[in-house]
Structure 1
Amino acid sequence: MTEVTYERYEGQEAEDQLDTFLATYEEVYADPPYCEGPRDVAEFIDRYRQQIRTRPGFRLVLARDGGDVVGFTYGYRLPADTGWWGNLLEPLPPESTRETGERTFAVLELAVRKPWRRRGIAAGLHEQLLEGLAVERVTLTMRPEPEAAPAQSAYASWGYRKVGKSHPWEDAPVYDCMVLDLP
């Protein structure tokens, strides 16, 4: 096994990497609890391309073992007019949800292929994604325990705290909404 390396892409250059990590996305999200099929993957592709074009501060990080992409993560800064906090089942105080376009970075995906899990790769991806960001905090949504117990444990160890439950679209499951305050 070679040493895992990380590559970061900003803005439009991230779109050119879609084909590079798409097979990894398909592999990870085919498994339960996601069980995604071809239609889900097509929707992911459309959503990913749209986010790159419309979301400021878009950033992608790939983890490679040799030439193989073994994990990826991406996100963007929440715009001032975001609907992110409006998806919470119980509203937070207005000061907690005020966005400026520079205040909060949202992690949309963080995934590692099964054979490379529990090797610190997710932590490396997370660290590379946040490195140098000039934001106050980071947010993400994730499936609750017990379906996502390993992810819940990882995010808690990185300093995230749960701030509520989110239901981002009609057919979506209810997710835990997490926040990490940065120093």
Structure 2
Amino acid sequence: MPELQFRHYDGEGAQTIRATVELIQREAYADAIERGDPFETGDVPMRRFDAYTRRPGYDLVVAFQGDEPLGQAWGWPLDRDTAWWRGLLTDVEPGFTDENGTRTFAFSELMVRKRWSGAGVGHALHDELLKGRPETRATLLVRPENTRAYRAYRRWGWRKAAELRPGVEHAPLMDVLILPLPLHP
């Protein structure tokens, strides 16, 4: 694995490196963009990014090797009025979707530029973003057909809890995964 330096950004700080975020997104999702996936093409991903950076507690971590960005991950704590659970297609136990701003961290994105894919950068970003989180669990959404990512998340301790179609533009069917926190007690 390359020697990594991590830089954290809150929502306002994330906007100051928007071009870097977009560069990583375009390289990480190059295959999906080439296929014309409407969830990953055009300005759709960056409009989601802009909306996410306005969420309270937003945290972006970017992995660098020197001055070169290799990948990024971001998320935020789910508040009482979160839309995260809208679109659930699976029955879940009572209270599963109850949020208060301190229960669940939404692990929204993990992207690694193609050149460093498979080099451990994604796992390092994952651990860096979740390190020290005060919430009791984390959640993420993953496409069931994204077998490479799905296998990695399973190795890192994530377990399927439900299926969901997010209420955002061009959203595909996703599996909801849950990970107990703290990551490393």
Per the TM superposition, whether the score is higher than 0.5 is yes
Distance 1:2 1:98, change over 3 A: closer
Paired letter, 2:180: D
Deviations 1:101-136 (A, max 9, x none): 111111111011122111111111011111221101
Q: Work out the CA distance in 2 between the residues paired with 1:41 and 1:68.
A: 24
Q: Work out the CA distance in 2 between the residues paired with 1:117 and 1:171.
A: 25
User: Per residue, is there more helix in 1 or in 2?
Assistant: 1
* Aligned Cα root-mean-square deviation (Å): 2.1
What's the TM-score, normalizing by structure 1? 0.88
Which consecutive residues of structure 2, in runs of 5 or more, have no partner in the other structure? none
What's the TM-score, normalizing by structure 2? 0.87
Would you say 1:69 and 2:69 are equivalent positions? yes
Corresponding residue of 1:103:
103
Distance 1:94 1:85, change over 3 A: farther
Q: Work out the CA distance in 1 between the residues paired with 2:37 and 2:69.
A: 19
Question: Retained in 2: the 8 A contact 1:20–1:69?
Answer: yes
**Counterpart of 1:32 in 2: which secondary structure?**
helix
Identity %: 39
Distance 1:2 1:156, change over 3 A: closer
Q: Work out the CA distance in 1 between the residues paired with 2:181 and 2:90.
A: 24
Distance 1:149 1:2, change over 3 A: closer
Q: CA deviation at 1:36?
A: 4.9
Which consecutive residues of structure 1, in runs of 5 or more, have no partner in the other structure? none
Distance 1:67 1:58, change over 3 A: same
Corresponding residue of 1:45:
46
Q: Work out the CA distance in 1 between the residues paired with 2:105 and 2:178.
A: 10
